[in-house]
Structure 1
């Protein structure tokens, strides 16, 4: 038992250590480099003014004390970010801000917020929020026990003349993740319980907790359904990966690894 506790402690220490490296200083070393401009000088200057204006207006969506804090940082530079799979089709920008000196950087992410994909299927004709960015921020604040202090929202006109909604957040703020390497079965089980508890808390805060509890009931039907879905999902991932490797081997696609 003592040996198990020792291994669990080591896993926790690695997780915390990794989380602490995911901060603005790591982003500063990783992201600050001279890159080619994607726009001509005149268009780039105009877009920078638009982005500066968005950030200035966004400050009014923050609490007064946090507004004072972010006003201590000045705009330095910006770059377009290539978004992940879940955000394909949305515009996203990284903004480098500078505080008291060059050793005081702050990276903000300005990400386009589109209409919820659930709105069409949930019988919602219009959002109660006038800005889709505000909808995203309100949802995060409602569901998360501790969120980003610089979460805000605004609208801005792009270089194509269209106005879009955005939400603003920090690029790196000590987000941690579970370390699977070296984890023991009981640790993985505890991690699963923590994920379930976190999700349940978020659903209870954002939905009708009484209706959710009544739907789940007292037996294990729902738990078994979720376990079955998880196993099927894992199997599908393995099949998809096998198809990817087959396509690479046959020359149908080119795969680049180690990115």
Structure 2
């Protein structure tokens, strides 16, 4: 049997559960759980604006002002686009020594409702652009800090924010301890569908909260290919086309004058033809039954603004049988300078492999490909459906009780994802049955929220001074 490569760097299968638990407990002496409260950036802390400017240098220049505009809107929006800044900061924080596959950008809005291939509505992590193996603590800290930042924006008191973070981290810790006692297959098969979520977390919500959850699940099911088909396309000269909405959506034929768009179209068509080799054979057979009808460049998210992202309209049985795919540029993870480069040949494969490892179930059309010829360079992409029963939380509409419950659900989901790839027994033993780590992350999250506000203000000052261009969109 070949030796498997594991994110924590240990030969887990060659250690007994007792030995793994002993490693976790021993790590408490070297790195006390209370030490995770620390965050004290020194004078050599990199300039946060230089970090995001370095990222912007590789992105589409005409979209970069939109990125800065979105990050300027609030400290929470800034935080969502500042994964690279936090990765740099986390590199100097205590770590227990146990690694797992990281999401790399585990803020609260990257947890959402998604569809499984069996057409069940699931709750899981969604965004894996930054995924890499690394210290498990980093994902937990990014999640906890995001809740504090969102809570401040909503006007929650210090006590309310403390309660939210304590509940979130406790949920992570307790679920990790549960997974540590289970067998490998039991952990691997664990998934959180909406029925489980309702039964487990519904009683903690108010009547209004349960009603909002019910509406959210109904809305998520309506956010499918047919809905986006009606929203984003129209018939032009008898053909179904993607409707322009510049600068957010620009059809490929509008990007370059005359027939110049073909210089981009042909490499993208090649991408779609070849990427099918990275999906399962039965799904590749399904994909081959569709034909490309149109393509467009699309602006997505906050942190991803400026990366090359394409949406592709495909038609199947007839012109009313659509499939929308999204081909998104995959660059080096923001974690790489701090944990080491990916073992995969392409960044697209890095993203897809990390997603498949951490998610309980993934999009049937998820795959990757490297493209030659777009703007004269070689670029990596990963591909997935544009929309398939996606439901996103509205952080600004949450009350403290609702955010606490949502945080608990996110904590449980992150623990499940980490338990699949990391040494769940050692991590659980390190965390223990007490709340030392939980309380430490309350302190850390407030300190980091303070730093995030200072960084956000630095961005506002740079925009006001004309150093960085910002555009609303």
For the aligned residues, what is the CA RMSD? 3.1
Q: What displacement does 1:256 show?
A: 7.3
Structure with bigger RCO (C-alpha 8 Å, 6+ apart):
2
**Which residue of structure 1 aligns with residue 389 of structure 2?**
174
1:74 to 288, 291, 301: 291
Q: Specify whether residues 67 and 196 from structure 1 end up closer, same or farther in structure 2 by C-alpha distance, changes over 3 A only.
A: same
Query: Counterparts in 2 of 1:102-181, with a 5 A limit?
Result: 102-122=319-339, 124=340, 126-178=341-393
Q: What displacement does 1:8 show?
A: 4.0
Q: What displacement does 1:160 show?
A: 2.6
Gap regions ≥5 residues in structure 1: none
* Mapped contact 2:348–2:368 kept (Cα < 8 A): yes
Q: What displacement does 1:212 show?
A: 2.2
Distance (whole Å) between structure 2 residues aligned to residue 90 and residue 246 of structure 1: 24
**Which residue of structure 2 aligns with residue 47 of structure 1?**
264
Q: Is residue 2:231 matched to residue 1:30?
A: yes
Q: What displacement does 1:67 show?
A: 0.9
Q: What displacement does 1:50 show?
A: 1.2
Normalised TM-score (structure 2): 0.47
Number of matched residues? 253
Distance (whole Å) between structure 1 residues aligned to residue 318 and residue 358 of structure 2: 35
Q: Specify whether residues 161 and 63 from structure 1 end up closer, same or farther in structure 2 by C-alpha distance, changes over 3 A only.
A: same
Distance (whole Å) between structure 1 residues aligned to residue 386 and residue 397 of structure 2: 29
**Which residue of structure 1 aligns with residue 426 of structure 2?**
211
Q: Specify whether residues 48 and 16 from structure 1 end up closer, same or farther in structure 2 by C-alpha distance, changes over 3 A only.
A: same
Q: What displacement does 1:241 show?
A: 7.5
Distance (whole Å) between structure 1 residues aligned to residue 470 and residue 260 of structure 2: 35
Other structure's SS at 2:371 match = strand
**Which residue of structure 2 aligns with residue 85 of structure 1?**
302
* Mapped contact 1:43–1:159 kept (Cα < 8 A): no
CA deviation vs aligned residue, 1:37-76 (integer Å, no higher than 9, x gap): 1113333123212111111111111111111111221101
Q: What displacement does 1:225 show?
A: 2.2
* Mapped contact 2:289–2:316 kept (Cα < 8 A): yes
Q: Specify whether residues 16 and 58 from structure 1 end up closer, same or farther in structure 2 by C-alpha distance, changes over 3 A only.
A: same
Distance (whole Å) between structure 2 residues aligned to residue 116 and residue 22 of structure 1: 29
Q: What displacement does 1:184 show?
A: 6.4
* Mapped contact 2:329–2:379 kept (Cα < 8 A): yes
Normalised TM-score (structure 1): 0.82
* Mapped contact 1:156–1:163 kept (Cα < 8 A): yes
Query: Counterparts in 2 of 1:52-63, with a 5 A limit?
Result: 52-63=269-280
Distance (whole Å) between structure 2 residues aligned to residue 109 and residue 87 of structure 1: 13
Q: What displacement does 1:180 show?
A: 6.0
Query: Counterparts in 2 of 1:219-230, with a 5 A limit?
Result: 219-230=434-445
Q: What displacement does 1:95 show?
A: 0.7
* Mapped contact 1:11–1:182 kept (Cα < 8 A): no
**Which residue of structure 2 aligns with residue 20 of structure 1?**
221
Other structure's SS at 2:230 match = helix
Other structure's SS at 1:42 match = coil
**Which residue of structure 2 aligns with residue 198 of structure 1?**
413
Other structure's SS at 1:41 match = coil
